[in-house]
Amino acid sequence: MENDVLFTERQKFRQWWVWLTLLGVNGLFIFAVFKQVIGGQQFGEKPMGNTQLLFTAGVIILLTIWLFNLRLETQIKKTGIYVRFFPFHLSFRHYPWYNISRSFVRKYNPIAEYGGWGIRLGLFGKGKAFNVSGNKGLQLEFRNNKKLLIGTNKPGELAEALNKIGQLKE
């Protein structure tokens, strides 16, 4: 019963403009490889060597795969909050309730408060943030005065789960 998951969320970077840009860059390098390495025609006025072109195309493809696999996972249990930002955190980080003085869902400005999305450090005492999209999150304030914001796309469900176990502390 103590280990039952009351709320779970799994988020990924899915901003269309990021994927459209990556699709264009990947497409350009794949086309260049086919034209130059396979077709034998130089690509561009000052082409890279075949080895450099293959290496660069490989790095860009690996970066795209890496970005595709980034994910933020959040779980609320009676024992606390569990968060993992894969692949940076291979296992869940546990924040027990007894270390948390306040926990509430709020709207925030990702760029102004934290400088964007990802694992971020906020300016002027905002603390740390784990977020991948949107502008709503679970704000945690710890007994040692540190802060953590965990982004969510399910603010209503998250607040309901916290309220259910008496941990919605505004």
pLDDT one-digit tens code per residue, 81-140: 999 999 888 999 999 999 999 999 999 998 888 888 888 887 777 889 999 988 999 999
Single-letter amino acid code for the residue at 44 = G
Kindly state whether residues 57 and 88 are assigned to the same domain: no
The structural domain count of the chain equals: 2
CB 151 within 8 A of CB 114: no
Residues 6+ apart with CB under 8 A from 102: 139, 140, 141, 169, 170
Q: What is the pTM of this model?
A: 0.80
Kindly state whether residues 92 and 155 are assigned to the same domain: yes
Higher pLDDT, 146 or 37: 146
Among candidate residues 69, 94, 118, the one where a domain is terminated: 69
Instruction: Please give the pLDDT value at position 170.
Output: 75
Domain that holds residue 54: 11-69
Q: What confidence tens digit (pLDDT) does each residue in 1-27 have? A: 567 888 999 998 777 777 888 899 989
Kindly state whether residues 80 and 160 are assigned to the same domain: yes
Where residue 60 falls among pLDDT bands split at 50, 70, 90? very high
